[in-house]
Amino acid sequence: MQGIRPTMRAFGKAWLDVTEAQIIEALLAFIDRGEATEAAFEEMALAVFAYQFAHNQPYRRFAIQRGRTTLTVRNWRDIPAVPITAFKDLTLSCTPPEQVERVFMTSGTTQGGVRGKSYHPTLAVWDRSMLVNFRQRFMQGRDRIAMGILFPDEEAMPNSSLAHYLSLAKRECGSADSEGFIGPDGLDLGRLIAGLERAETSGEPFALLGASYSFVHLLDALAAAGRRFALPEGSRILDTGGFKGQSREMGADAFYDALSAALGVPRRACINMYGMTELSTQFYDDGNAFCPPVKSGPHWIRSRVVDPVTGRDVPEGTTGVLAHHDLAHFNCVSAILTEDAGIMVDAGFKLLGRVDGADSKGCSLAVAEFLKAARG
Amino acid sequence: MVEFAGHLPGLAAAEVEWRMLDFAAWGESVQVSVPVLSEAQALALAARVRENARSYLKTLSVAQIVVTIDKAVARLLDRDDPLRQKLEAILPIVTGYDRETVRLGLSGYLRTFRAPQLQRFLTEDFANPGMLDAFQPAIKGGFTRAYGPELLLHIWAGNVPGLPLWSMISGLLVKAGTIGKVASGEPLLAGWFAQILAEIDPKLGECLAIVWWKGGDEASERIWLGEADTIVAYGGNDALAAIRNRVPITARFLPHGHKIGFGLVSGAVLDTRNAGPLARLVAHDVMRYEQQGCYSPQMLFVERGGKVSPREFAALVSGELASFARTHPRRALSVAEAAGVAAWRSAEEMRAFDETGRAVLGDAGDPWSVVCVEAAEGLAPSGLNRTLKIVAVDSLDAVVPLVASHRAFLQSVAVAAAPEELFRVAALLGEAGVTRICACGRMTAPEAGWHNDGRFNLLDLVTITEIEQSAELAAEGFAPYVD
C-alpha cells in the first residue's frame, strides 16, 4: 500500500499505472489488518474505485453517466453502485475476461436464463476474504469441524460461487471425515443419515452446511423416514440462498424451528449466510433465535440502505434497497445495488426479502407478470 | 381519522368484526376499517341480497334504475356535496395519487355515468333495452327477455379510484343482486356509492352489499364464490387463475386480467405545430394514475419521416413529464415500486452503453424516465410510475408484428394519425387483438358505453329467455276466445 498511496487522491489518472498485482497485494494486507476505521475504508475504497474506473470500461461509462468520476468522488458513499442486473448485460471486468482464472455465474433463475457473471483473475482475494470471515463468524475459534455439505461440489459446478465457498470451507476448516451429500442424483439420504448417526454417537460437534432449499429437502426426507437427531453440543448449521423455487417456501421461523427439531441444533446455532455471486465477501448473522436477525460483514465490506431511484441513503430506520461496497470484489465493481430490501440497525442490517417483483397497484401489466407469461 | 368501508344491509356495525387498514400519503394518514364477516354472516347477507333483488330490484324498470344511479352520480359530481368533499380529501391519502388527479379523474369518470350516458351504455348492448323489463318481440319470431344474475359477485383489485363503479353499475342495470368485494388498495368508494344509493332508494340499497376479505383468503373466497351465479373478477393472471379454480362449474366467470397500453404517432402528424401539444397529451396519459390502469400507455411507437423526429419528440414528451412533475407530483413509491423503476431504468442505461441508437433521457433521480430507441423493439412493460419507452419505427404497419405476440395483454391504444391512416391501422390493430383505440390524452378516460376488454359488459351478465314462436302459436289454440 505504501508504494501507491501518494498518487491516490489528487491524481486520479495516475491510477492507470497501478497494476493488478499492487491492488491485490494492498487488498490482502487490508483484509489481514483486522479492522478498519471509516477513513481507512474510504481511502482503500477510493483507490479501488480509481482502479476500476481506469480499467473497467463499461463501469467507467456508467459512472460518467451518473456524473461520478475520480475527480468528483470524494466519499466512498458517492462511488456509483451498479445494479446487479448489469452483471447480466455488461462485461464488468478490469482484466480481459478471457484471461481470468475463474468466472462465477448466477443461477439465471430470475431473468429468463440470462446469467450474471463475475470475473476473477485470481481467487486469492476471494479466498482470503471468505476464510478470514468464515473462521471468525462460523468456526468461532475452532480450527476444524466435521462437516456435511448439502450442495454439489466445485467439480460439478465450477461456475458456482457457493460450490467454491463450500469446497473451500470443507478443505480449509473441515475435519478429515467431512463429506458432501449431494451427488449427481441429488441428496444421498442413506449416507447422510449414516453420517448424522455417527456424529450423534461420536459426541463431537458436527456442522451441516448448504443451500436453504437442500435443508428443506432434508427436512421432508427425515420427516418421511420418521427420523430425528440430537447432534452433539457445539454442532451448527449454515444455510444460504433461500428457496429459489427449488423447494417449497418456508417462513423463517418455521424453517429454523423445523431444523432445530429435526437435528437437535438450537436456533441460535443456525447461522444464515447472505452472499451473492456479485460479491467476494459474505455476510452472517449470529444465529436465528429471533428472525429476522442482524446481518453484518467484515471491515472490508460496508453496506448502505438506499432509495433505488435516487441512489441516496434513506433516513435511518427506513426500509430501502441494500447497496454493498465490497473492496474484495476488485476486478468487477465494488459498489453494487442489490434487489434486496433492508433496513440499517446498530450492528449491521436486517434483510427483508427481495424487491424485484413489484406488481402494479392497478390493472396495468407489470414486468414480473409479463416475464412470467413470456417464459410460459 | 377512521373511515368505515363497506355496505352491509341488515348487519349492525357492532355485530361485525372490523380490521384496520392504515394509509398515509402527502403528510397525512387515515385508517380504514374494513368488515370481516363470519361464514354465517356472509351466507345470511348473500341470501338477503338475493332475496331483496328478487322481490324489489327485479321489479323496477331499467328506466327507474337509471334515474336512481343518475341521482347518486349527480351527488358525487357536486363539489359542494359533503361526501364528494370527503372523497377528494381522503382518496389521495388512500391511493397516493395527487389531489388534482383524484379530483379531475373522479369528475371525468363519473360524468360517463349520467342518465344519457347510461342510456347509451344500454343501447350499446341491447337493441331494445326494454327486454330487461319485459318480453319483447324478436325479429326471428317469438319473444325474448333478458335476466340478470340472481347474485353477481365483483372481485375488485387495485387502487385506481372509481374503477369498481364500472362493473357495479353494469350489474345494477341488469338488476343483479350485487356483492362487491373491495380491494385493500382502495376500499372506500364502492361502499360510499352504495350508501348514497341507499339514501336515495333505501329498498334498492338492500339489494347490494359491499364486503372485504384479504385478497387470496381462500376460505372467505370459497364462501362467496359458492353463493354467486356470476363472478366478475379483476387482477393479475395468477390471482385470476386461483379464483377460477374455486368457481363452481355452474357459475359464469368473467375475468379482467392486467393489460398493457401503448400509443402510435404517425410521422405525418409530427410537424412543429402539432408536436408540442401532442407531446403534452402523451405525457398526460403517462402521468394520470401513474400508469396503474390497464388503459395506461407503457410504450409509444413513433414513425420516422416527420418534421419532428422520434428522438426530438421523446425530448418534448420528457419536457412535458418534467412539467407535470411540478403540477401533479408523482405519488410516493413503495420500496418495491422504486426498485421496479430503478431496475427498468438502469437496464436501459446498461443497454445504452452498447448501442448508439438508445438514449435514456433525464436524470436517475427524476420522478419520470423516457427511453428513446431507434431500433424496432417488441412491446414490453415499462417500469410504470411515469416511465415510457419511445420506439422509432419506419411505418405504423411495422408496429403490428411488434405487439402481436402479446395478444392476451392488449386492450387500449392511442393513435395520432390522419383519418385514412387511422382506419387502416385500426383494422390491423383490431386483428392483433386491440379492443380500444382512442386519441392521445384520452387513454385513461374511456368513453361512456365502451366495451371493456372488447366484451359486451351488460350482455355478458344476462341470460336470455325466449318464447319461441311455436309456444306463442300453440297458446292461441288454448285461448278462451278460440273459435
Domain range summary for chain A, segments of one domain joined by +: 124-298
CB of B292 within 8 Å of any CB in chain A?
Answer: yes
Q: Which of B258, B260, B350 sits opposite A86 (nearest CB)?
A: B350
Q: Exposure pattern of A201-234 as b/e (b: 16+ CB <10 Å)?
A: eeebbbbbbbbbbbbbbbbeebeeeeeebebbee
Residues 388-417 of B with CB under 8 A from A: 408-409
CB A80 within 8 A of CB A336: no
Measured CA to CA, the distance from residue A67 to residue B349 in angstroms comes to 13
Per-residue pLDDT for A65 more than 90? no
Do B344 and B251 fall into the same domain? no
* Max Cα-Cα span within chain B: 92
**Strand-pair category, A320-326 with A301-306:** antiparallel
Measured CA to CA, the distance from residue B175 to residue A335 in angstroms comes to 61
Count of domains observed in chain B: 2
Per the CB < 8 Å rule, is A367 touching B234? no
Per the CB < 8 Å rule, is B342 touching A83? yes
Per the CB < 8 Å rule, is B298 touching A367? no
Do B250 and B344 fall into the same domain? no
pLDDT per position as a tens digit, B351-367: 888 778 999 998 888 99
CB of B368 within 8 Å of any CB in chain A?
Answer: no
Per-residue pLDDT for A17 more than 50? yes
Count interface pairs A-B at CB distance under 8 A.
150
Measured CA to CA, the distance from residue B183 to residue B191 in angstroms comes to 11
CATH code at B375?
3.40.309.10
Segment A149-160 mean pLDDT: 94
Do B111 and B203 fall into the same domain? yes
Mutate: best of B350, B371, B377, B379, partner A, most A CBs <10 A: B350
The distance from CA A153 to its chain's CA centroid, rounded to whole angstroms, is 17
Measured CA to CA, the distance from residue B378 to residue A160 in angstroms comes to 33
Do B252 and B266 fall into the same domain? no
Per-residue pLDDT for A1 more than 50? no
Do B319 and B197 fall into the same domain? no
Sign of the dihedral through C-alpha B442, B444, B446, B447? negative
Local structure of B410: helix, strand or coil: strand
Q: Please give the residue that has the higher pLDDT: either A131 or A242.
A: A131
For residue A51, count other CB atoms closer than 10 A to its CB. 25
Q: Which of B258, B365, B409 sits opposite A360 (nearest CB)?
A: B258
Per the CB < 8 Å rule, is A366 touching B163? no
CB of B205 within 8 Å of any CB in chain A?
Answer: no
Write the CA distances from B22 to A36, B19, B48, integer angstroms.
Answer: 43, 10, 31
For residue A363, what pLDDT band results from cuts at 50, 70 and 90?
confident
Per the CB < 8 Å rule, is A364 touching B336? no
CB B409 within 8 A of CB B251: no
Do B249 and B297 fall into the same domain? no
Let me know the angle formed at the C-alpha of B441 by B436 and B444, rounded to the nearest 5 degrees: 55
Say what the pLDDT of residue A8 is. Answer: 46
Residues contacting residue B208 through CB under 8 Å, at least 6 positions apart: B7, B9, B49, B168, B172, B177, B178, B179, B180, B194, B197
User: Does some domain include residue B479?
Assistant: no
User: Does some domain include residue B26?
Assistant: yes
Per the CB < 8 Å rule, is A309 touching B296? no
Distance from CA of B25 to the nearest CA of A (A): 15
Say what the pLDDT of residue A246 is. Answer: 83
Full residue range of the structural domain in which residue B283 is found? 260-438
CATH code at B15?
3.40.605.10
Do B240 and B308 fall into the same domain? no
User: In sequence order, what are the beta bridge partners of A296?
Assistant: A284
Let me know the angle formed at the C-alpha of B161 by B158 and B163, rounded to the nearest 5 degrees: 70
Per the CB < 8 Å rule, is A355 touching B365? no
Do B135 and B273 fall into the same domain? no
Q: Which residues of A touch B (CB under 8 A)?
A: 58, 61-62, 65-66, 83, 85-86, 89-90, 307-312, 319-321, 337, 339, 341, 355-367, 369-370, 372-373
Say what the pLDDT of residue B17 is. Answer: 95
Do B398 and B253 fall into the same domain? no
Per the CB < 8 Å rule, is B364 touching A366? no
Determine the residue type at A249: E
Segment B434-446 mean pLDDT: 95
Say what the pLDDT of residue A11 is. Answer: 36
Segment B196-211 mean pLDDT: 97
Instruction: Note the pTM of the prediction, 2 decimals.
Output: 0.84
Local structure of B464: helix, strand or coil: strand
Q: Which of these, B330, B356, B334, B360, lies nearest to B347 by C-alpha position? A: B360
pLDDT per position as a tens digit, B282-338: 999 999 989 988 999 999 999 999 999 999 999 999 999 999 999 999 988 888 889
For residue B448, what pLDDT band results from cuts at 50, 70 and 90?
confident
Measured CA to CA, the distance from residue B170 to residue B148 in angstroms comes to 10
Segment B120-131 mean pLDDT: 93
Do B196 and B229 fall into the same domain? yes
What residues of chain B lie within 8 A of the CB of A364, using their CB? 258-261, 291-294, 296, 298, 381, 384
A4-18, B17-31, B112-126, B317-331: least confident range: A4-18
Residues 92-151 of B with CB under 8 A from A: 95
Residues 245-264 of B with CB under 8 A from A: 256-261
Say what the pLDDT of residue A3 is. Answer: 40
Do B314 and B407 fall into the same domain? yes
Say what the pLDDT of residue A356 is. Answer: 62
Per-residue pLDDT for A154 more than 50? yes
Share of chain B above pLDDT 70, in %: 100
Measured CA to CA, the distance from residue B300 to residue B293 in angstroms comes to 16
Per-residue pLDDT for B158 more than 90? no
- CATH for A124-298 is 3.40.50
Do B185 and B197 fall into the same domain? yes
Per the CB < 8 Å rule, is B338 touching A341? no
For residue A15, what pLDDT band results from cuts at 50, 70 and 90?
low
pLDDT per position as a tens digit, B220-235: 999 999 999 999 999 9
Rg (CA), chain A: 21
What residues of chain A lie within 8 A of the CB of B353, using their CB? 58, 61-62, 90
